[in-house]
Amino acid sequence: MEASMRLECSWITILHLSSLLEELTLNFAAEWAGADLMRRLIDSGADPHVKMMEERVQRIITVLGLLLDCSPETINAQDQYGNTPLHYAAKNYGNLGQEHTAIFRYLCDRGADSSTLNKDGETALHRLCSCDGELPIDTAAIEILLDHGAKVTDTDSRGNTPLHLAVKNLDNLDAIVFLLDYGADISVKNLKGNTPLHEAANGMFRPGVVEEKYKPMGEILRRLQGDEGRLMDELNAKGKSPRQIQDEVRKDLKEKMDDIEIERKRWESEVWKK
């Protein structure tokens, strides 16, 4: 009883810490599995990466269940930054990707409220859409959060909607389409005066984006432009339009690629001299 009271008086409850278990498991996963287990998984035709991901998620859910059974009221407890366990789960989505959706479902089934705002005015959906990991956002995770209180029209303290955040990462094509189909407003401006199209223009030509993604991204950009492309020349607080930003990003990328090519030729020249 005394230990329970100490936990409830703490700014960060043990439930918040349990939501960070995936970070810890990532660090010792290879040691925990061991070479022998990895070899047996591969020999049996299983994908060891997927297998380990599923096991990690199940361990996290098991721990969450034990903690919630002891103290169910902590499901929506907030830390000093206003974050709930659901915010933490969203923040760490990039560690596990699609397998992580099961954690969202479990927390929401146990009563998590995805409309709760932290001190930055963010819902768990904002945190999810701002993930910058290599794994794309699962639309099922978005749907779960929308079904439990979050809205596509919610704005954080910077004026960003979930769409503003999702369009920054070109890996989120499915998530962007889902938000648009769900009614996300393409004309909303954040405190910088940026529409989602301004934000998308910054990410469109970033290095490392594979060619096959340009075509679907082009379709999304057309949807973000509005009727007859009216938002392409909409100015933000700095007086820049998405069209100008896109041209600047393209020019900057070309200059970087040219610099790389010059450096490559210089290196080859030095090698041949030797």
CA dist 206 and 191 (Å) reads 24
Please give the structure tokens belonging to residue 31.
Answer: 């040691």
Please state the domain extents for the chain.
1-152, 186-268
**Of 95 and 239, which is predicted with more confidence?**
239
Q: Which of 3.40.640.10, 1.10.1240.10, 1.20.1300.10, 1.25.40.20 would CATH assign to domain 1-152?
A: 1.25.40.20
Would you say 162 and 126 are in contact if contact means Cβ atoms under 8 Å apart?
A: yes
116/84 Cα distance (integer angstroms): 8
Predicted confidence (pLDDT) at residue 54 exceeds the cutoff of 80:
no
pTM: 0.77
pLDDT in tens, 126-185: 999 998 766 789 999 999 999 999 999 999 999 999 999 999 887 788 999 999 999 999
pLDDT tens by residue, 83-110: 999 998 898 887 667 778 999 999 999 9
**CA distances for 15 relative to 77, 100, 107, angstroms:** 8, 17, 11
Q: What pLDDT is stored for residue 150 in this prediction?
A: 98
Q: Which residues contact 220 (CB under 8 A, 6 or more apart)?
A: 167, 173, 176, 177, 180, 200
Per-residue model confidence (pLDDT) at position 128? 96
